[in-house]
Amino acid sequence: MITQQSGPRPADVADVRTTNLVVVLRFVRAHAPCSRADVAAATGLTKATVSSLVADLLDRRLLRETGVTENRIGRPATMLEVDGSPYAAIGMEINADYLTAVAMDVGGTRLLSWRRAFDGTAGPASGTAALAALARRVIARLRADGRGVLGVTVGVPGLVDAAGVVHLAPNLRWQDVDLRADLHHALGGAFDVLVDNDANLGVAAEYRYGPHAGTPDLVYLTGEVGIGAGIIAEGRLLRGSRGYSGEIGHVPVVPDGPPCGCGRRGCLEAVVGLGALIGGPPPTPEHLTSAVRDLVTRAGADDRHVLEALDLAGDRLGRGLSVLANLLNPETIVLGGYYVPLAPWLLPSARAALRSGVLAPDSGGTLLAASTLGHSAAALGGAARVIDLVDAGRIPLLDPA
């Protein structure tokens, strides 16, 4: 059980000691194993200050001594590394057909990864209650393992403002839901709760943990019942003026095409979203995963009807993405969600359509690839967001009890 330092938001951190704690923590993370003397030499802090800060971080169990000492000129130095194992960050995602939860320790080790079918279209009260219930189960598990929980970030497929209010999530049928406040309340007010768009969290996870990590101009496409893009430009998340960027799902692709959850027709997600890929009447959440598995099986068995449908879907997806590539010229676009198992059949025609739709030769260099993070991307990015709070100055305090 831990408590958190309350008070100012990360950007306002003015407390010199907190700032110095973060400086030391970051240095050790980047340079471990290293000694107190190394920290002092690199940071310009006095050795006495560093000793005091390190003692504090050892108490909080954010650092630990490796047990190894290094013999240098003078006294042997005890080496330090980041511990972080006593603390866990939780990332969750709600989508039209499932909930996910991921927990990571401060060192970035994944502690658990859960997914379950859920009818996300049953309204905000049901969705919030289900998220809170799942969060409580995760928290109980983490505590049983002796870990303190730092906070929870939830990804939502829709327009989320900076305060964590979901203004519109067509595929959940949510409008103006203050999810951050509701969930904070439902969890007893004990944790930081953050809410962001699922694609924004997905691209953050790809930027950090995916095979394209560190690509400065990176786009992540959620391949779910809805489709959204998370955009990183020159290493920074592009949010737009109100936080509503990335709505590629509502680019018109087929004039007078099938109706879309947003009320328009022929939008990208209406023609290549999961519902369109599966066809027929909207299946229940439980059936979506098996319907995709069935598609994969039939495509693998060269079912001509399925191969043609996926080829056409890839072409339309590529046409929609060419609009994004013409505007943003990213280095890589990563396809996530249900597109991952279907990628072998979607990618060829999608890449061809991208090449033909982008003005710059060779698609302007934009590569199209399938994610390796699967349905966990948004939740992983959410957990990472919580861990980032520590680096931003929200140093956790282990409760003495």
Among 112, 129, 238, 307, binds its own copies (CB under 8 A): 238
Nearer to its own copies among residue 92 and residue 195 (C-beta): 195
Among 107, 282, 348, 364, binds its own copies (CB under 8 A): 364
Please tell me whether residue 324 binds its own copies under the rule CB under 8 A: yes
Please tell me whether residue 165 binds its own copies under the rule CB under 8 A: no
- Minimum separation from the CB atom of position 376 to its own copies (A): 25
Nearer to its own copies among residue 42 and residue 262 (C-beta): 262
Please tell me whether residue 351 binds its own copies under the rule CB under 8 A: no
- Minimum separation from the CB atom of position 243 to its own copies (A): 7
Judge contact between 47 and 24, C-beta under 8 A: no
Q: Which residues pair with 252 in a beta bridge?
A: 267
- Minimum separation from the CB atom of position 175 to its own copies (A): 9
Please tell me whether residue 257 binds its own copies under the rule CB under 8 A: no
- 175-194 residues near its own copies, rule: CB under 8 A: none
Binding track over 209-228 against its own copies, x by CB under 8 A: -------xx-----------
Q: Which stretch binds its own copies (CB under 8 A): 4-12, 84-92, 164-172, 288-296?
A: 164-172
Burial level of 235, CB count in 10 A (0-12/13-18/19+)?
exposed
What stretches of 60-156 show up as alpha helix (H) in DSSP? 124-144
- Nearest of 142, 152, 138 to residue 183 by alpha carbon: 152
Matching residue, tokens 């972080």? 84
CA 94, CA 172: separation in Å to the nearest integer? 9
- Minimum separation from the CB atom of position 195 to its own copies (A): 16
The number of residues that bind its own copies (CB under 8 A) is: 47
- Nearest of 114, 128, 118, 113 to residue 95 by alpha carbon: 118
Please tell me whether residue 316 binds its own copies under the rule CB under 8 A: no
CA 250, CA 170: separation in Å to the nearest integer? 11
Among 40, 183, 225, 229, binds its own copies (CB under 8 A): 229
Among 55, 140, 327, 397, binds its own copies (CB under 8 A): 327
Tokens matching residue 231: 């955009």
- Minimum separation from the CB atom of position 37 to its own copies (A): 29
Judge contact between 246 and 254, C-beta under 8 A: no
Judge contact between 160 and 195, C-beta under 8 A: yes
Calculate helix-pair angle for 339-357, 304-328, nearest 10 degrees: 60
CA 27, CA 86: separation in Å to the nearest integer? 20
Nearer to its own copies among residue 86 and residue 273 (C-beta): 273
CA 339, CA 368: separation in Å to the nearest integer? 12
- List contacts with its own copies (CB under 8 A): 159, 167-168, 170, 216-217, 229, 231, 233-234, 236, 238-252, 255, 262, 264, 319, 323-324, 326-331, 356-361, 364-366
